[in-house]
Amino acid sequence: MKKTYFLICVCMVCALVGFLSLRTGQKASDLLLMNIEALASGEGNISYTCAGLGSVDCPGTQVKARLVAYYVY
Amino acid sequence: MSIRLSVATPFLLLLLAACTTAPPGKGVPYDAFPETRNLTGRVLPLDTAVFRYPFRIRVQGDKAVMLDLHGTDHLFHVFSYPQGHYLSSFGKRGEAPHEMISAENVRWKEDALWVLDADKSEITRLGLSGDSLLRRETVSLDKNILRALDFAVIDDTAFLIPDYSGDARFCQVSLQGRLLGKFGSIPSADEEALRNARPALAQAWRSFIDYNPRNGVLAAVTQLGEVVEVYNLRDSTHVVRIGPHGEPEFLVSEGYSLPMGIMGFSDVQVTDSAIYAVFHGRPFKEIAASVRKGIKLPDGGQYIYVFSLDGEPLCKYVLDHAVYGISVDEEKGIIIATDVNRDDPIIEYKIQDLCEYK
């Protein structure tokens, strides 16, 4: 009987750890979302640069690049 | 018993909470193709090397027209096919009348060739004169059409142009360039972006399109992510298929969309029996890392995905080259592709049997 309860407790701890890690992921995701919203509303800053020959439109220009590299600060 | 229940109930609740997944997109997902085929290409030797970025190839009869996206002097070159002899160039680069600032696509329509310049907002029709192509007319696009990045000619009556404003999915434009109307919507599950950032969403959902007048099927594939849309303009059906890489991912900065996630599709063709699309699948993070390390990754896609005309995955071709544009001839069993990484950029693939429903 003690063994059964021990196993259940182990399972609960594992599930709790998994759940908390998911919540942590959610926090990161929310943070990113807030960051994006802040950028969209002009409260944040982002710098980007376009590199290489490619087919991706470089924002706000007539250049087509391989990569749009950006940095959030 | 009550002790056991009191222990088990929170455990089950936690388990269910952990199983919660992200909300699905608006399309029907696909995971895998029923069949994978490997293809080995033959490099078509050319008697000249004038390309910087051979983005599109269109073959009609014994002539192949290549669109060089980053061409310095001319944006288009004509070759004999399959001999590969250089015939002529057109689309002189410049801002003067009859010159082109940029080129997005090129399409044969019987003996005429149509080309699109997004930066001048013009579509030009050229006609064959011997081995050369001469300008016949230039259509200035309506000012209400925001940055036309692809086009298709619909049944000799209109152009279809993806709507870059985000208000709709496509603009219907008269052959004289007048905006007739808009239809469709971006099939994104991102409600926040649909409400507040439609122009950026439309930029991220930039799609390549093709239309086949023989079956009325219009296909659109996204440059970012992995979304395929199939519109049957005859029966007004619309199918959205979303692959494992999902919707286009992007970051908004000052109203512009910055690409994230993966490089998706780069060309699409609707034939009489199927839809062929070149797929890259390379994460931008990997491209950025290679640039930082000075490693040159091949640019292009090593996959051609084949879908039925109602959007069912049929098969996947794995190529020995990374390619960008394709021209599929099912009757001859040939796919001609462009490889931007080579000086001899035309690759010819032979397909034995067409992919079909199993």
Q: Looking at chain A, which residue has its C-alpha nearest residue B224?
A: A56
Cα four-point dihedral sign A11, A13, A17, A22: positive
Task: Choose, out of B195, B251, B280, B297, the residue to mutate when testing the contact with A (most A CBs < 10 Å).
Answer: B251
Cβ neighbours around B14 below 10 Å, total = 20
pLDDT at residue number B357: 74
Which pLDDT score, from 0 to 100, does residue B10 have? 45
Q: Which residues of B touch A57 (CB under 8 A)?
A: 149, 203, 206
Tens digit of pLDDT for each residue in B282-306?
999 999 999 889 999 999 999 999 9
Q: What is the pLDDT of residue B21?
A: 34
Pairwise pLDDT comparison (A2 vs B224), residue with the higher score: B224
State residue A35's pLDDT score.
36
Q: Which residue has the tokens 């649909």?
A: B194
As given in the structure block, the two tokens for residue B89 are 């160039």
Flag whether pLDDT at A11 surpasses 50: yes
Amino acid, res. B342: R
Chain B positions touching A53 (Cβ under 8 A) are 52-53, 69-70, 340
The ipTM, to two decimals, is 0.87
Distance CA B163, CA B149 (A): 9
- Alpha-carbon distance of A7 to A11, in angstroms, equals 6
Beta carbons of B125 and B113 less than 8 angstroms apart: yes
CB contact B201 to A (< 8 Å): no
pLDDT digits (tens, 9 = 90+) for A22-51: 333 333 333 333 333 333 333 458 889 999
Q: Per the CB < 8 Å rule, is A8 touching B259? A: no
Would you call A40 and B252 a contact, using CB atoms and an 8 Å cutoff?
yes
Binding-face residues of B in 229-248 toward A, CB within 8 A = none
Cα–Cα distance measured from residue B158 to residue B150, given in angstroms and rounded to the nearest whole number = 14
**Best of A11, A66, A72 to mutate (most B CBs within 10 Å, chain B):** A66
- Nearest-Cα distance to chain A for B21, in Å, is 11
Q: Give the closest-approach CA distance of B286 to chain A in angstroms.
A: 10
Q: Which residues in B lie closer than 8 A to residue A72 (C-beta atoms)?
A: 251
CB contact under 8 A, B10 and A53: no
Mean pLDDT by 10 residues, chain B (358 residues): 45 36 66 96 89 96 95 95 94 96 96 96 93 92 97 92 97 97 96 95 98 97 98 96 97 93 98 98 96 93 98 98 97 97 95 84
Q: pLDDT tens digit string along B150-205?
A: 999 998 889 999 999 999 999 999 999 999 999 999 999 999 999 999 999 999 99
Chain B positions touching A39 (Cβ under 8 A) are 251-253
pLDDT given for residue B25 in this prediction: 55
The predicted pLDDT at position A43 comes to: 41
Per-residue pLDDT at A38: 36
Q: What Cα–Cα distance (Å) separates residue B192 from each residue in A48, B66, B106, B125, B198?
A: 23, 40, 35, 41, 9
Select the residue from B67, B249, B253, B266 to test the A interface by mutation, using most A Cβ atoms within 10 A.
B253
pLDDT tops 90 at residue A6: no
- What are the helix (H) ranges across chain B? 2-19, 191-196, 198-204, 284-293
Please answer yes or no on whether A15 and B53 come within 8 Å at the CB atom: no
**Which chain A residue has the Cα nearest residue B263?**
A56
pLDDT number for residue A12: 65
Out of A42, A48, A64, closest to residue B258 by CB: A48
Q: What's residue A1's pLDDT?
A: 53
